[in-house]
């Protein structure tokens, strides 16, 4: 790996760090080549060991899968020196070779472009600190990651890549909230900003390139966080998330859109702070204890589908390491209603966006695609079938065999609609880290 220059794309969550290492090509005509993927989990989790994995592409280094200290005793800033040590020890990548770092930042407020941060010029981080209250479970830890990188890689150029950037094209009719003027100045205007923008940008770029023109798409990003977006001629014209990621679809741990007063009745001490997370109880419960886990007890959508289909008394997931999960009548009923709630909320946005885009383009058949992405979107054939089945009245049809097969190994997308479907339906493996590398190439001219 000699004198190569590297870029590392990072995504820091409240309890995890994910990243990809790329070699910076010598020519702008060449693509960034992925060298390795890494993940660190259980950060800040007492009683759980820190789990570190490092997987090298094409045997470029020695893969690692290790458990270390108790997560409760480790902070994000403690882990970056170790990550660099592992990259060096297992793959020969020296610290001074990592010249560029990209960071996924969920909330960028009114910023219309990514921001550059260096050790000598960290000014942008002050503004990011102020935005923390609008994405408290994401921005806070992401900024910790940026500061840690500036400390351990003082010569590096860091790029803050915001999920909100893609949605800067939302029209006022969509982003305005029907609230009276505020009596005090807020950090940012209280309006819809939208999120998962790096995913939407990646998908839109890929399909637009195939079409040879800006694409018209309805995209459902369904993972631990869930959202949908309506994309006209390559630009976002509507999206389900709002001022914060809480608005919109049901998520793994988020309520999605509910009557705002419900939490006041659910949690009488809603204003009390949860110090270690820098949020109040209302935000904590609605962001971390609700959604799929609040309804069914699990965030795993696959498990929800299994429990829904199982017979009472069935034991699921039994193996050498686990006695499995014995399904009760209540488990089965909760799983069924959880699935139905998730599908209902998804259809509320999916059908709305299909009709909105049909109006903008001049007909349903002018829509270039309905896209499913994210962990649930990629892996749940049942959800895709049921969602598209409800669009059958519009002439949208799914190919059962292709849908069940999913994305073939080695591919990043697959068409799963029938030949006579009025709208094509895709499963696309989104690439948020790769998109931040693309952004870095443009900003740093590399």
Annotation marks residue 163 as catalytic: yes
Is 91 in a helix, a strand, or coil? Answer: helix
Q: Which residue ranges make up the annotated binding site for Mg(2+)?
A: 11, 432
Measured between alpha carbons, how far apart are the two ends of the chain, in Å?
Answer: 18
Q: Which residue ranges make up the annotated binding site for ATP?
A: 18, 221-225, 375-379
DSSP string, 255-291: --S--TTHHHHH-TTTTSEEGGGTEEHHHHHHHHS-H
Q: How far is 6 from 97, CA to CA, in rounded Å?
A: 6
Rg of the chain (C-alpha set) = 22
Phi, psi of 237 (to 5 degrees): -115, -10
Q: Are 49 and 42 in contact (CB under 8 A)?
A: yes
Q: Which residues pair with 426 in a beta bridge?
A: 371, 415
The length of the chain in residues reads: 446
Q: Which residue ranges make up the annotated binding site for substrate?
A: 104
Q: Are 428 and 405 in contact (CB under 8 A)?
A: no
Pairing of strands 17-23, 33-41: antiparallel
Q: Which residues pair with 18 in a beta bridge?
A: 11, 39
Max Cα–Cα distance, the chain, nearest Å: 62
Among residues 58, 96, 163, 409, the one annotated as catalytic is 163
Q: Directed axis angle between helix 301-309 and helix 381-389, to 10°?
A: 80
Q: How far is 320 from 237, CA to CA, in rounded Å?
A: 50
Q: Are 53 and 39 in contact (CB under 8 A)?
A: yes
Percent helix, strand, coil in the chain (nearest 5)? 40, 20, 40
Query: Could you give the residue numbers annotated as active site?
Result: 163
């Amino acid at each position: 790996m000699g004198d190569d220059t590297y870029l590392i794309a990072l995504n820091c969550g409240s309890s995890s760090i994910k990243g990809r290492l790329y070699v910076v090509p010598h020519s702008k005509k060449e693509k960034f080549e992925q060298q390795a993927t890494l993940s660190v989990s259980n950060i800040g989790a007492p009683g759980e060991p820190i789990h570190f994995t490092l997987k090298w592409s094409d045997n470029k280094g020695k893969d690692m899968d290790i458990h270390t200290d108790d997560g409760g005793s480790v902070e994000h800033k403690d882990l970056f020196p170790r990550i660099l040590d592992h990259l060096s020890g297992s793959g020969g990548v020296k610290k001074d070779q990592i010249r560029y770092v990209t960071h996924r930042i969920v909330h960028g407020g009114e910023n219309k472009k990514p921001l550059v941060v260096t050790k000598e010029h960290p000014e942008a981080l002050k503004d990011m600190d102020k935005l923390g209250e609008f994405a408290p479970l994401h921005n806070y830890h992401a900024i910790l990651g940026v500061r840690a990188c500036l400390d351990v890689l003082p010569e590096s150029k860091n790029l803050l890549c915001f999920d909100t950037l893609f949605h800067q094209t939302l029209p006022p009719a969509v982003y305005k909230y029907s609230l009276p003027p505020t009596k005090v100045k807020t950090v940012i205007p209280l309006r819809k900003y939208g999120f998962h923008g790096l995913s939407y940008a990646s998908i839109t770029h890929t399909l637009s390139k195939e079409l040879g023109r800006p694409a018209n798409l309805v995209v459902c990003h369904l993972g631990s966080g869930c959202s949908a977006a309506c994309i006209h001629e390559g630009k976002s014209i509507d999206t389900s998330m709002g001022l914060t990621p809480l608005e919109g679809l049901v998520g793994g741990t988020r309520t999605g859109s509910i009557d705002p007063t419900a939490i006041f009745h659910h949690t009488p001490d809603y204003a009390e702070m949860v110090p270690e997370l820098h949020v109040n109880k209302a935000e904590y419960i609605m962001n971390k204890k609700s959604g799929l886990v609040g309804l069914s007890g699990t965030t795993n959508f696959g498990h929800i589908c299994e429990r829904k289909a199982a017979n009472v008394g069935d034991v699921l997931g039994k193996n050498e390491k686990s006695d499995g999960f014995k399904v009760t009548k209540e488990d089965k009923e909760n799983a069924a209603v959880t699935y139905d709630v998730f599908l209902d909320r998804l259809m509320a946005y999916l059908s709305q966006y299909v009709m909105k885009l049909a109006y903008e383009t001049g007909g349903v058949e002018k829509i270039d695609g309905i896209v499913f992405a994210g962990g649930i979107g990629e892996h749940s054939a049942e959800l895709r079938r049921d969602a598209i089945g409800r669009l059958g009245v519009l002439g949208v049809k799914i190919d059962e065999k292709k849908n069940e097969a999913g994305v073939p190994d080695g591919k990043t997308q697959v068409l799963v609609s029938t030949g006579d479907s009025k709208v094509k339906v895709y499963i696309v493996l989104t690439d948020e880290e790769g998109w931040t590398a693309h952004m870095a190439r443009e900003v740093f001219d590399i």
